[in-house]
Amino acid sequence: MDEVFAVEGQAKVNPEVLRSMMKKSDKAGIIQLVSHLLVLAATGLGLWLTRGSWWGVPFFVLHGMVINWLYAAQHETSHGTAFRTGWINQWVGRFTGFVLLFPREYDRLQHFCHHRHTQDPEKDAELVYSSFYNGPFADVLALAGITYWIGLATSVIRHAVTGKRIPASEYYLSEDQERHVVTEARWHLALYALVVVISVMFQTWIFVILWWAPMLATAWTHQIQNYIEHGDMPFVNDTWRNTRTTDTNPAMRWLAWQMTHHTAHHTYPGVPFHRLPDLHKAIVEVRGEEPTTRTYFSYAAEVIRGSFTNKPSEAAA
């Protein structure tokens, strides 16, 4: 996605500077991916060696967190900007989509709709998708990952079984795209069934211990990123006003593949993850103002407090 979403009439980054930032790099992508997988291997080894003891608890949380944040890789490969080589983007995206129970093609198409209609309550696919449950403590259940996992499982199973899109939320899929999404969902279910069969045949819990259990239980460590990017931001067609940047530490920026610079990303989504810090600075320089910025903890606390007091969040203020 190389579109530009800077609003007409606003100061924009110099086109030559922007073109230099849009250059993709296999090297940068491989370094980021390999470092992420090495940390994942380390937390997995720690969890395996300490399973059954209290020492396993922190490893369980860390390992689940690193798995969930693989979505940062999936997101970047959906844009085709994680790597210069196209097939690497495609297969890394398929791998992460399988691990995260979130088929790559379905995610990619939904996400492109989100970029083209950000914060449009009737057209933004991610807003429409998340609006189906608005009952008691909706925000807390979403932050915990409960409604997130239910939604993903429901979507994959429904696509695979019915062979159809979900009319209420997937208006953006063409007939050809619908066929791809259905085929992808069926492959996913078949492969998950194979994992179960292997587990039973070899009488092993390894997939549960090192994959499904920590991933499902710690979705909250990543859901805050999903929430903070646009939660409570106004429904306006201006990336500088409808998208939030996260103020956090270098470790979290690394884990997020720099997607904490989310306002910059939504303004120029064709810029690869490793250049987002530079893009953020360039936009701030030409605009003369910082984007709306919050920390994870302050935003999460406000959302949770608002959910329990039934008061609307003021996080966009």
Structural domain span for residue 178: 15-309
- What pLDDT is attached to residue 166? 86
Which range, of 184-198, 220-234, 300-314, averages the lowest pLDDT?
Answer: 300-314
Residue 8 falls inside a structural domain? no
What confidence tens digit (pLDDT) does each residue in 200-243 have? 999 999 999 999 999 999 999 999 999 999 998 999 989 999 99
What confidence tens digit (pLDDT) does each residue in 20-67 have? 999 999 999 999 999 999 999 999 999 999 999 999 999 999 999 999
Residue 21 falls inside a structural domain? yes
Residue 316 falls inside a structural domain? no
CA distance 257 to 68: 13
Residue 136 falls inside a structural domain? yes
Backbone phi, psi, residue 39, to 5°: -65, -40
Residue 55 falls inside a structural domain? yes
Where would I find the H helices in the chain?
Answer: 15-21, 26-50, 56-68, 71-79, 86-99, 104-116, 125-130, 138-144, 146-162, 175-202, 206-207, 213-217, 220-230, 239-242, 250-255, 262-267, 276-287, 296-309
Which range, of 10-14, 101-105, 183-187, averages the lowest pLDDT?
Answer: 10-14
> Residue 3 pLDDT more than 70?
no
> Residue 136 pLDDT more than 80?
no
> Residue 96 pLDDT more than 70?
yes
Residue 185 falls inside a structural domain? yes
> Residue 184 pLDDT more than 70?
yes
- What pLDDT is attached to residue 315? 38
Tokens representing residue 79 in the block: 């844009």
Tokens representing residue 154 in the block: 């429901």
Report the share of the chain in percent with pLDDT over 90.
81
- What pLDDT is attached to residue 12? 82
Residue 9 falls inside a structural domain? no
Backbone phi, psi, residue 182, to 5°: -65, -45
Would you call 245 helix, strand, or coil by DSSP?
strand
Kindly state the average pLDDT of the residues 174-194: 97
Would you call 27 helix, strand, or coil by DSSP?
helix
Beta pairing partners, 245:
293
CA-angle at 259, arms to 258 and 264, nearest 5°: 100
Kindly state the average pLDDT of the residues 83-95: 98
Residue 259 falls inside a structural domain? yes
- What pLDDT is attached to residue 9? 53
Residue 149 CB partners (closer than 8 Å, separation 6+):
101, 216, 219
> Residue 108 pLDDT more than 80?
yes
Q: Are 317 and 232 in contact (CB under 8 A)?
A: no
Tokens representing residue 136 in the block: 């008691």
Report the share of the chain in percent with pLDDT over 70.
91
At 316, the pLDDT band (50, 70, 90 cuts) reads: very low
Residue with the bigger pLDDT between 232 and 314: it is 232
Q: Are 143 and 300 in contact (CB under 8 A)?
A: yes
- What pLDDT is attached to residue 169? 85
Backbone phi, psi, residue 75, to 5°: -60, -45
> Residue 273 pLDDT more than 70?
yes
> Residue 314 pLDDT more than 80?
no
> Residue 142 pLDDT more than 90?
no
CA distance 226 to 219: 11
> Residue 312 pLDDT more than 50?
no
Overall number of domains in the chain:
1
Place of tokens 């579109």: 3
Closest CA to 122 of 168, 70, 62, 191: 168
Tokens representing residue 63 in the block: 């390992």
